[in-house]
Amino acid sequence: MKTIFHKFAFIYILIFLISFILIIIGVRSVLDYYFVSNESDLITQRAQNFEKIVNSKYVNSISLDLLQEQIMLLDGYTGANIWLFTEEGAFYSTSNSTYDMQLGKYPYLADDIKSVFEGRETSREVLYEGISQDRVLRVGYPFHVGDKIYAMFINVPMPELEDTISKVSVIIFISLSISGFLAVTLIFMITRRMGHEIKVINDAAKFIAQGNFEKKIIINRKDELGELAESFNAMAAELNKQENTKRMFISSLSHDLRTPLTTIKGYTHGMLDGTIEADKQERYLKIVSTESDRLIKMINDLLDLSKMESGALILNKTDFDMNDVIVNVLDSFEQKIIDKRIKLTIDLTKEKILAHGDMASIQRVIYNLMDNATKFVNMDGEISIRTELKNDKFYVGISNSGNVLSPKELSVIWDRFTKLDKSRGLEKKSSGLGLSIVKEIVKAHHEKIEVYSNEDIGVAFIFTVATQIFK
């Protein structure tokens, strides 16, 4: 199997080899240009210096024979073969070799002679076939002595330059090879480690796919792979949390279904077998009816919550009076408020602005929050309901005194079947779905809901609703 390690290693090595070849070619070209250009400038400089010396000795003119003697000195100084052309066509060479100066046999020589006599310097790499097997750097210089001009050509053998270039190239090649070896080794180690860590994540994914959500990945990296490991661990933790929630859901649902069903079954059998006397049957039938209603409500809540979470909830948004909705909901809790001797504080905004949303859904939110408040408020406690208009939003707050919730309890308060009061007294019977439904309804309206808890306020829920102005 071709692993990601092998693929990355192959790609990196291929990129390195291509880059290495291109660098060597580029460096060689740059060195050729640099050394040839530098040698050409150096030869020109020597020719200029020699020109100044000759002109300082011979102010007006010099004979050709004497000039030839002086050029021999330059030949010994530069180690090059020097040609000298006069305007009349005479030719002189410092080499002992016999040159047949048919200009057509020498590459571009006629053009260069013409350019030099016009006062321009020339520089060219040439090969004199039949005369020398080595390439030659030929530098042309307009040599002035008084008013007379000569075309001077200095021929420097290229092997010396090429030898220097080759030595520098070898040094660069060795340096690049060592650097390349270290780079490939480092890439090999990094890629191998990366491949191992990817395999760790892959094995963990297979482990989690089998339902083992407690698996965690330990990768000490600060890059994208480290972020992937952290995201993977967060996913595993969330899946584990959902698995625990599912178990608690089944456990809570089984308990909440079994309790009323047991009651209904017990009273029904009692009436059928005559254990319950006829004059008491009406009372127990009412209990059966109440438990049946509670079962139906729980099932409806489950269906509604499932619909909300799947995004299938259809909202019928209209304008409505928020204060009227709150007052109507409070009427349903009048008896509970009296029974627990609750001090109720109502502070509703006086602004005559309508709220905008699904009135039935918002009414359900307020009902569920009031139901939660009346269940968990302490005896002789306080419940406060406030509305405030701010930034084109209605802010609705419902708080109750009682036990303060810990940060851990607040973090799971919206989960389905979460019952923070574990006593499960008769006065606290519920499906555990009320706050989950509240959260989904507010979310469907694209609004926000927050919960706070401390010694001063007890437990407070605050949610927003759009207004008629900002619908």
Radius of gyration of the chain (CA): 49
Would the pLDDT of 205 be above 50? yes
Residue labelled with tokens 């967060």 = 234
- DSSP type of residue 315: P
The C-alpha atoms of residue 323 and residue 353 are separated, in whole angstroms, by 10
168 near 157, Cβ under 8 Å?
no
Q: What are phi and psi of 461, to 5 degrees?
A: -110, 135
Would the pLDDT of 285 be above 80? yes
pTM (2 d.p.): 0.50
Work out the average pLDDT over 393-417: 87
Please give the pLDDT value at position 61.
63
Write the CB contacts of 59 (distance below 8 Å, at least 6 apart in sequence).
146
The Cβ of residue 48 has, within 10 Å, a number of other Cβ atoms equal to 13
Q: What is the pLDDT of residues 421-448, one digit of tens each?
A: 444 333 445 556 788 889 989 998 999 9
One-letter identity of residue 101 = M
Q: What is the pLDDT of residues 121-150, one digit of tens each?
A: 999 888 877 666 778 888 999 988 878 888
Please give the pLDDT value at position 431.
59
3-state SS assignment for residue 61: coil
**What domains are there in the chain, each with its CATH number?**
4-163 (3.30.450.20), 224-309 (1.10.287.130), 317-466 (3.30.565.10)
Q: What is the pLDDT of residues 302-343, one digit of tens each?
A: 777 777 777 777 888 999 999 999 999 999 899 899 999 999
Mean pLDDT of the chain: 80
Q: Name the most confidently modeled range: 63-72, 164-173, 204-213, 312-321.
A: 312-321
The C-alpha atoms of residue 36 and residue 164 are separated, in whole angstroms, by 11
**H-helix or E-strand spanning residue 143:** strand 135-145
Work out the average pLDDT over 152-170: 79
Would the pLDDT of 218 be above 60? yes
